C-alpha cells in the first residue's frame, strides 16, 4: 500500500544573505504542496497534511505509473503566474486551483476548464531505492533523469534559477510579484531530505507583502492565551466615498501582527465602541483604521465582500479620518487589477 512520508519544510529567510555556491534557488509556486506515491501498482496523491486527495485530482495519480515517491506543487494549467521563457513554466492563479479543491465529484466541464498538473521539486524514492539520505544535488540529478519518463501534460520539472550572486537573485525576487510568483526557495546543495524544518537547510524567501488602510468592523475573542481579549478582527474597505453612497464591505480577517500592548489597546476600543452584538462577535464603531499587510487580493463577487485578502495580518493601527477611510478602496481596486 502507498504510504505518506512527512514533507521537508523551510524556514523563512529573514535578513540573511546566502552563498549560491552552497544553496540552489528555485521559484516558489502558488499552489498546494503534494506528494505522489506509487508502489505495488497503486498510486496516491497526498496533501501536505497527509490527506489522500487522489479522488479530487484523479488524472495526475492515474498518469503516474513509474514506481517512486515525488515531492511537488499541484497547479492548474494557465497563465496566471510565471512564464515559460522566464521561469521554466507557467500556471494559473491559486484562485483557479481553488475551484477544484475539496470536490469529490469533478465534472467534465471543470476538468476541461481547470486541468491540474504537478510541478516537481524533489524525489524521495526511485523505485524501491530510498534517496532521502542523499544530498539535494544528487537527488536533483536523479529527479532530472526520472521526469522524462512521465506524461508531459501532467508533470513538469521546477526550474532552477541561474544567478551570478545573491545580489542578482535579489533583483530576480523583486520581479516575483509582477509574475504572480510567491517568491524563491533556497535549498542547501548538500542537504538530505528530512521531515519538518531544520535550521540552515531550506529557506523560503517570499515576496514582500502589500498593505492597505482598512477599517475595523467586527471583533471576536481570540484563542489560547488571547482568549480574554478581542483579538480576532474583521476589517473592511469603502467601495467609494461615503458621501457618494459608498459602502463599507468586509475584505478579510486578521489574527496576528499585533504586539501585546496594541492588542490590549484595541481590546479596550472594542469594549467601549461596541454598537451591536452577534453572539460572540461585536460590531464596533467604524472609526479605527488598521494598516493591514497581505500577500494578495482577489475579487469576491460571489459573496458580500468586494475583495478578499490572502494571508492578512496587521502592520499597525491609527485613529481614522474620512480621507484615510477612503484610501483602502482605491488601492484595493488597483491591486485587484494588477495582482489577480
**Annotated catalytic sites, by residue?**
28
Under DSSP, is residue 242 helix (H, G, I), strand (E, B) or coil?
A: helix
Provide the β-strand partners of residue 75. Answer: 117
> What distance in Å separates the CA atoms of residue 257 and residue 269, rounded to the nearest whole number?
17
Burial of 296 (0-12, 13-18, 19+ CB in 10 A): buried
Query: Do 229 and 255 meet the contact criterion of CB atoms below 8 Å apart?
Result: no
Q: Where are the alpha helices (DSSP H) in the chain?
A: 59-63, 84-87, 94-98, 108-113, 136-146, 166-174, 260-272, 322-338
Q: What proportions of the chain, in percent to the nearest 5, are helix, strand and coil?
A: 25, 35, 40
Give the sign of the dihedral formed by CA 123, CA 124, CA 130, CA 132: positive
> What distance in Å separates the CA atoms of residue 204 and residue 172, rounded to the nearest whole number?
14
Give the sign of the dihedral formed by CA 224, CA 227, CA 228, CA 230: positive
The order of strands in the sheet holding 23-28 is: 11-12, 202-206, 183-188, 23-28
Quick count: other Cβ atoms within 10 Å of Cβ 240?
A: 13
Q: Nearest-CA neighbor of 252 among 279, 287, 290, 278?
A: 290
Quick count: other Cβ atoms within 10 Å of Cβ 305?
A: 17
> What distance in Å separates the CA atoms of residue 209 and residue 297, rounded to the nearest whole number?
11
> What distance in Å separates the CA atoms of residue 69 and residue 49, rounded to the nearest whole number?
16
Amino acid at each position: 500500500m502507498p504510504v505518506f512520508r512527512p514533507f521537508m519544510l523551510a524556514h523563512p529567510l529573514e535578513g540573511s544573505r546566502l552563498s549560491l555556491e552552497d544553496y540552489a534557488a528555485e521559484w516558489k509556486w502558488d499552489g498546494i504542496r503534494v506528494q505522489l506515491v506509487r508502489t505495488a501498482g497503486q498510486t496516491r496523491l497526498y496533501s501536505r497534511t497527509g490527506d489522500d486527495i487522489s479522488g479530487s485530482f484523479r488524472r495526475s495519480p492515474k498518469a503516474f505509473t513509474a514506481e517512486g515517491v515525488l515531492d511537488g506543487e499541484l497547479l492548474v494549467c494557465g497563465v496566471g503566474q510565471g512564464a515559460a521563457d522566464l521561469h521554466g513554466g507557467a500556471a494559473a492563479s491559486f484562485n483557479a486551483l481553488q475551484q477544484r479543491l475539496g470536490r469529490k465529484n469533478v465534472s467534465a466541464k471543470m476538468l476541461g476548464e481547470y486541468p491540474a498538473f504537478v510541478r516537481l521539486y524533489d524525489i524521495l524514492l526511485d523505485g524501491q531505492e530510498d534517496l532521502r539520505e542523499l544530498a539535494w544535488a544528487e537527488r536533483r540529478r536523479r529527479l532530472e533523469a526520472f521526469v522524462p519518463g512521465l506524461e508531459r501534460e501532467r508533470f513538469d520539472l521546477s526550474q532552477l534559477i541561474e544567478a551570478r550572486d545573491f545580489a542578482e537573485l535579489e533583483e530576480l525576487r523583486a520581479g516575483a510579484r509582477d509574475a504572480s510568483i510567491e517568491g524563491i526557495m533556497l535549498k542547501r546543495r548538500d542537504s538530505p531530505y528530512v521531515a519538518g524544518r531544520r535550521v540552515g537547510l531550506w529557506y523560503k524567501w517570499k515576496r514582500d507583502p502589500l498593505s492597505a488602510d482598512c477599517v475595523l468592523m467586527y471583533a471576536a475573542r481570540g484563542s489560547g492565551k488571547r482568549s480574554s481579549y478581542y483579538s480576532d478582527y474583521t476589517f473592511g474597505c469603502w467601495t467609494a466615498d461615503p458621501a457618494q453612497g459608498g459602502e463599507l464591505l468586509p475584505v478579510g480577517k486578521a489574527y496576528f501582527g499585533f504586539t501585546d500592548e496594541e492588542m490590549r489597546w484595541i481590546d479596550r476600543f472594542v469594549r467601549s465602541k461596541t454598537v451591536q452584538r452577534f453572539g460572540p462577535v461585536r460590531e464596533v464603531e467604524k472609526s479605527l483604521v488598521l494598516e493591514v499587510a497581505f500577500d494578495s487580493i482577489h475579487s469576491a463577487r460571489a459573496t458580500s465582500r468586494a475583495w478578499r485578502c490572502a494571508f492578512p495580518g496587521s502592520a499597525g493601527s491609527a485613529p481614522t479620518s474620512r480621507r484615510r477611510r477612503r484610501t483602502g478602496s482605491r488601492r484595493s481596486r488597483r491591486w485587484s487589477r494588477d495582482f489577480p
